[in-house]
Amino acid sequence: MEAETEEKSVSILNDEEMVTRAKADDQKAVTELIHRYQPKAYAIAFHLCSEESDEVRDVTQEAFLKAIRSIKKFRGQASFSTWFYRIVVNTCRDFLRRKRKKERLFSLWPGKPHGNEVSQDNSKEQPDLKGHNDPMAVFTGKQLTREVRNALRALPEKQRVVFQFKVLNEMTIKEIAQVTGSSEGTIKSHLFRATHSLRNVLKDWSES
């Protein structure tokens, strides 16, 4: 009975209380933090790093391991979510650097295919824009197709990260600024440019 009450009490704690317990090596608190942030961490890794589920899982797990190992260094100068999302983004960047390095080495071998090749059929997928007055609504409607995701990945990294956090993770400008270490004005600029670029892409598709 006491164990059940304890488990229930952990799940209703706020992040600050949960982190305090996690710092004291409370495994239930650590587990609850992972459970609480796993969906968003996975989404960030998916949109910033890879569409391959194995790679996304590996990046997500690596980010959680880094967070758990360094949680005692967390000073609370920003929210836990801000601190953790920064770890996820940096883990994604490390992953992409390693991946690009492998691809460069792999390309030196003659006769080898270059990584993930998109099939002809998949490359023809298009977003369903029916019923959307605003083409950008296709993102919030979670109808991301392969081509739309490719358009998102074609953005400069800073624009892609900002768009990911604002539109797909529903973070505020202030939160994004804290995660990325940029000013709010810079974040707004990146978001405007990303939205403008993607809106043009979707407009072309809707008129084709």
163, 194 Cβ separation under 8 angstroms: yes
Tens digits of residue pLDDT in 165-188: 888 778 899 989 988 889 999 999
Query: Considering only CA atoms, which of 164, 162, 172 is closest in space to residue 144?
Result: 164
Tens digits of residue pLDDT in 112-135: 454 444 444 443 344 443 444 444
The residues, any chain, with a CB within 8 Å of residue 24's CB and separated by 6 or more, are: none
Tens digits of residue pLDDT in 30-39: 999 999 999 9
Tell me the domain boundaries of the chain. 1-108, 123-208
Backbone angles phi, psi at 101, to 5 degrees: -65, -45
Domain 1-108 architecture: Orthogonal Bundle (1.10)
Domain 123-208 architecture: Orthogonal Bundle (1.10)
CA 198 to chain CA centroid, Å, is: 18
Rounded-to-integer distance, Cα 8 and Cα 164, Å: 32
